[in-house]
Chain A
């Protein structure tokens, strides 16, 4: 990793990047980001936001600009979606994480969102990385589905080199020969990142598995592996979801996951000798 100047752990191994968003400190607290895959309507987004807030989530996710595999799939509500997210934030107080796909949208998304997300398909979209490197909002950089750790950290380096120090890495599963799960969630990347970089890393078990029944165990595993948080797709009524229906978690299941995470956290603090 010789090319890494800003993303690498240099000198003081204890110095870790901590990013304050709303009331949470990413890189210090265990942060839970939850919400719908895409913003479909005001009602769907606000109802889901209220549910995840009640269950204890720290931030709201929701896509307004959706990069979809097929051009005929729902492409997101665009600016209208951003306005809905702003309203949901006003109602719940949850900071908003949303994806930006086009360099021309970066400044607009900044007007509405608290954290900009770069999706897996855009991880190596260098003009987009440079653009988000110029703004002040933190960037959640998802791992490309075919990317090595080195390639991924070099993409973070692009953002850091433009002057934005607030990059959060997000493991979301990679392509392997396995077909039972949508992707293979690579949890070994969590301690690997911690060995060579000071950047916080969170885990997306929703996309990482694509299977509702596996999201909870992998969320707990992410915490045990030392991740700084998780990002979960929740829909107040998954059967109505316009995208990624099979991995959308109903609110009751999410609330139960939050309770188990809380229990594990106490245990992990004990294991790690943190009191």
Chain B
């Protein structure tokens, strides 16, 4: 133990304190959705009492009370502003959060453990938006999300096409020569297979990329690293040993932004969902409508719905103000079942 090591420990603790404070502020913003007014003296008293009662040893009651008075003051300040919350699945640092920042950096990204929680939260008004991955160039369709999309009433208000760049992250004190285990989501590990083999590193499966980064910081395992986003390195105070370690560079994930409200702008891309009767040529007749109107289709996906039934997702270039789009959709609605226009929106592509 020397001064340098101790200072590194202090830096690590500071980054944890900062992260916990951020998490606390996020929860504070969520409470706003359940309160009619910001001030709640009873609750403030309760928080201060609990925190001063538990203070022992080096932390004296006056000191911690002062800090908490400041925290509560700032919490109320934050609540006064009109924040837009956007939910994503995974831990902080997940690619959903990276995509949300690209969509709108003024939104506050809120992590959810399950995709279903993102949908439910947006539906209940807890979050203003949700952002979910629908497909990946290497991994294909994100099944869980597409299943949820079949039955949702939520609207598509945006899309982000995000290149997935993977980074090898380690604790600042870890010597790169000693690393042998690398934690990450199985898909991320598969995408870096050659890199791992070249450097004689063992892949270890973890449920989530950002989760693996968080685990490194919290559990501090020896001789270990994680594969996750650059954002995860910032959030969990990890060192980036190497950027862009993916074997192939054409790895894109397409995210959809969902909301309870319809999109106010016209957009340049539309998504619809429908199913067809079990008769020869029904799907063909739908596609024919778009072909005749010269509308460019960008994605067709069939997802099993009820046994023997399929829901079709169809994306195309156009806006709801387009006369030919309006006419085409009227026609498609006539010849399909369960038709719904999911939304017209702008898609953001990252070069």
- Chain A positions within 8 Å of B, measured between CB atoms, are 79, 83, 102, 104-105, 107-108, 110-112
Contact = CB atoms under 8 A, between A and B. Distances in A.
Given A79-B176, A102-B177, A107 B199 contact: yes
Nearest to A86: B243
A111 B244 CA distance: 11
B193 to A, nearest CB: 15
B199 A104 contact: no
Interface residue SS majority, chain B: mixed
B81 interface: no
B241 interface: yes
Interface of B: 176-177, 195, 198-200, 240-242
Contact of B241 (A79, A104, A105, A110): A79
A212 B15 CA distance: 48
- Secondary structure type dominating chain A contacts: helix
Contacts of A107: 198-200
B199 A111 contact: yes
A111 B177 contact: no
A192 to B, nearest CB: 37
Contacts of B198: 107, 110-111
Contacts of A110: 198
Nearest to B177: A104
Contacts of B242: 111-112
A102 B178 CA distance: 13
Nearest to A79: B176
A105 B199 CA distance: 9
Contacts of B199: 107-108, 111
Nearest to B176: A79
Contacts of B176: 79, 108
5 closest A-B pairs by CB? A104-B177, A107-B199, A79-B176, A111-B242, A107-B198
Nearest to A102: B177
B177 to A, nearest CB: 4
A107 to B, nearest CB: 5
Contacts of B195: 111
Contacts of B241: 79
A245 to B, nearest CB: 27
A107 B199 CA distance: 6
B1 to A, nearest CB: 22
A62 to B, nearest CB: 18
16 contacts: A79-B176, A79-B241, A83-B240, A102-B177, A104-B177, A105-B177, A107-B198, A107-B199, A107-B200, A108-B176, A108-B177, A108-B199, A110-B198, A111-B195, A111-B198, A112-B242
A167 B13 CA distance: 48
Given A79-B241, A104-B177, A111-B242, 15 more contacts: A79-B176, A83-B240, A102-B177, A105-B177, A107-B198, A107-B199, A107-B200, A108-B176, A108-B177, A108-B199, A110-B198, A111-B195, A111-B198, A111-B199, A112-B242
Nearest to B168: A111
Nearest to B195: A111
Contacts of B240: 83
Nearest to A108: B176
Nearest to A136: B198
A120 to B, nearest CB: 23
A108 B198 CA distance: 9
Contacts of A112: 242
